[in-house]
Amino acid sequence: LTGSIDLVLRLAGPRFAIIDYKTNWLGPADEPLTLAHYRPEVLAAEMSRAHYELQALLYTVALHRYLRWRLPGYDPEQHLAGVLYLFVRGMAGVPNRGVFAWRAPGRLVVALSDVLGGGS
């Protein structure tokens, strides 16, 4: 598992969302690509196949640690808005097509951060 956060978006509140751009070809190699290849169930399957769920959780822990250090009054439940995986080849037509959204529970983020950092 390798990667880096593409973008952290500051939303009103303030809340912070992680954006990760993906260019995965989700259709069969021998067929023209269509928007049907980027339906929600296909995105969910690709998220599992490529272990992006773990990646999203680790990215969220990294953002949590940064915000805990830099944002006075930081609260993960209030400030972490989640992760958006933007499968750019499928982002056309229907709103949110090609977008997989997920938000880790704050308690999970804190617990994993503690496990990875020995409580720090």
- Catalytic residue positions? 20
Q: Phi and psi dihedrals of 108, rounded to 5? A: -65, -45
d(CA 6, CA 105): 21
Q: What single-letter amino acid sits at 27? A: G
What DSSP string runs through 43-80? Answer: HHHHHHHTTHHHHHHHHHHHHHHHHHHHSTT--HHHHE
**Residue 37 CB contacts under 8 Å (≥ 6 apart), including other chains:** 26, 27, 90
